[in-house]
Amino acid sequence: MLQTAAVLIAAIAYALGLLGLRRRGRAVSPLRAAGFYAGIAVLLVAFLSPLDHLGEERLFSAHMAQHLLIGDVAPLLVVLGLDGPLLRPLLAVRAVRRLRVLAHPLVALPLWALNLCIWHLTPLYDAALDHDTVHALQHGLFFLCGTLVWAALLEPLPGPAWFTAGRKLLYVASMWLVSLALSQVFLWSGHVYYARYLQAPRTWGLSPLADQRAGGGVMLVEGSLVMLGVAVWLLLRVFRDSESRQRLLDAGAGADAAARAARYGR
């Protein structure tokens, strides 16, 4: 219930932010706003749909799907909905400005990877299933670290100058490798890691081990599709930037040629 309330408060705060910008004569792209609210919708599906009960009580694969919605898909959409003017009121708070370092590429990526892997260690994962407070903390950290890693990549606020589109491709590849490595652990394991699913009633005829492997497959497919989509977008940016540089070079060469012709009367 607390998680759902936090999501609704975020949706209201965003709407108020849009209203404040409109009153100052500035508007946010409808596509950007749609991205944010799509992220909110994804979170509500994760928390309020049957996926929540299935994941907690019966199927590891359902729980994996829920975690990917909370920690990957929703943060990506939410970050797409943010920009500098919307974030400016938050940045006016000194503590928030100091925390901005967490969205630096060299901080966000290892933080995201460490958080993702640690929560899948058996003791912590079991603790999240057994205690609501720990489970809420797990979900909150999945979303927070997902938001930081996508914010570092998509830059709703300006990032480091060295973090070019080409380097962002390496960043996305690193994210994909982390997701791929963890998915392989579940795909190829010969035993079940989490007691809750070993003892759970069988659903859809899946054995505990088959369910665990299905969860690894869900992670593999989701991660590959998302990272591929982002990689294609970055490649298009690389090509566009290359064409822009070439046009500038051509324009400069043309200006130099014209200057030489004028100088020598040709």
pLDDT value at residue 244: 63
The helix (H) or strand (E) run that includes residue 237 is: helix 208-263
3-state DSSP assignment of residue 145: helix
The SS3 assignment for 168 reads helix
Q: How far apart are CA 139 and CA 72, in angstroms?
A: 11
State the pLDDT at residue 121. 94
pLDDT of residue 61: 94
Q: How much is the pLDDT for 111?
A: 97
Residue 184 is predicted with a pLDDT of 95
Q: Tell me the CA distances in angstroms from 264 to 256, 257, 259, one per residue in order.
A: 12, 11, 9
Average pLDDT along the chain, 266 residues, taken 10 residues at a time: 86 86 79 92 94 91 95 95 83 77 94 96 94 94 96 91 90 95 94 89 87 95 93 84 67 54 50
Give the pLDDT confidence score for residue 175 in this predicted structure: 95
